[in-house]
Amino acid sequence: MTCDRQNIQEVLPAYLAGTLGSDDRVRVEEHLAACRDCTAELDLLRMMATEPVPDPGEGFWEALPHRIYPEVQRQRRRQWPSRLSDLLRGANIPRWGWAAAAAAVILASWLVVRPLPDRALRAAAKHRPAPAVDIIQEASNNTEIRPEDLERLSTWAHQELLSLQDGLADLSANGNGTRVEGALNVDLEDELASLSDEQLETLIDTLDRGSHDEDTEDPEEET
């Protein structure tokens, strides 16, 4: 006959493992003495519990952490880029923050660029699209940079680089240069490598003057 004492059957594994409290153990033993179905179930559980599991040996256990660790390290290193992006996503950086970072990168790149040849400077000055020295001066004079200033600065620096590129392209078109592509990366960088603060000021003045000259002397060239 099938026993329906589910409350007894539920605790049979604990009884078998010897983890049952004394009151429960007595209750189970009293039931087992009178129930063949639950006794058969206990025998079945005992057979399962004593199913043999081989021991791979101490050598296996000792070596396991050493076998796993290099692979764990390798996979963790591979995860770093995605972890960084997760971190940045989690940081919830505002738009102005990204703009500031972009502007900082562009500005830093611009500051390490080397001196331009005079002709390139003049040509670049002619093509400079927007007077922006005031932004630089404003930014450098203030200890706290406002987000909107950084956005303006980012835009200005980008335009500045484009205009320098145009200037070099013009030089080449006038028959004076043989390399236009990569000029900004190679010739310009060579020339501007040792730009000091003083030279930077001079460059800014030159650019600014060029812009004013352009406005007053040659307005058609804008088109």
Per the listing, tokens 């050493």 go with 66
Of the two residues 10 and 198, which places its CB atom closer to other proteins in the complex?
10
By rule CB under 8 A, what string of x and - marks binding of each residue 46-85 to other proteins?
Answer: -xxx-xxxx-x---xx--xx-xxx-xx--xx--x---x--
Of the two residues 55 and 144, which places its CB atom closer to other proteins in the complex?
55
Q: Which of 25, 32, 41, 147 binds other proteins (CB under 8 A)?
A: 41
DSSP 8-38: HHHHHHHHHHT-S-HHHHHHHHHHHHH-HHH
By rule CB under 8 A, what string of x and - marks binding of each residue 154-183 to other proteins?
Answer: ------------------------------
Q: Are 25 and 15 in contact (CB under 8 A)?
A: yes
Of the two residues 45 and 200, which places its CB atom closer to other proteins in the complex?
45
Q: Are 191 and 116 in contact (CB under 8 A)?
A: yes
C-alpha distance from residue 152 to each of 80, 148, 185 (Å) = 33, 6, 24
Q: Which residues contact 106 (CB under 8 A, 6 or more apart)?
A: 154, 157, 158, 161
Residues that bind other proteins (CB under 8 A): 6, 9-10, 13-14, 16-17, 19, 37, 40-41, 44-45, 47-49, 51-54, 56, 60-61, 64-65, 67-69, 71-72, 75-76, 79, 83, 86
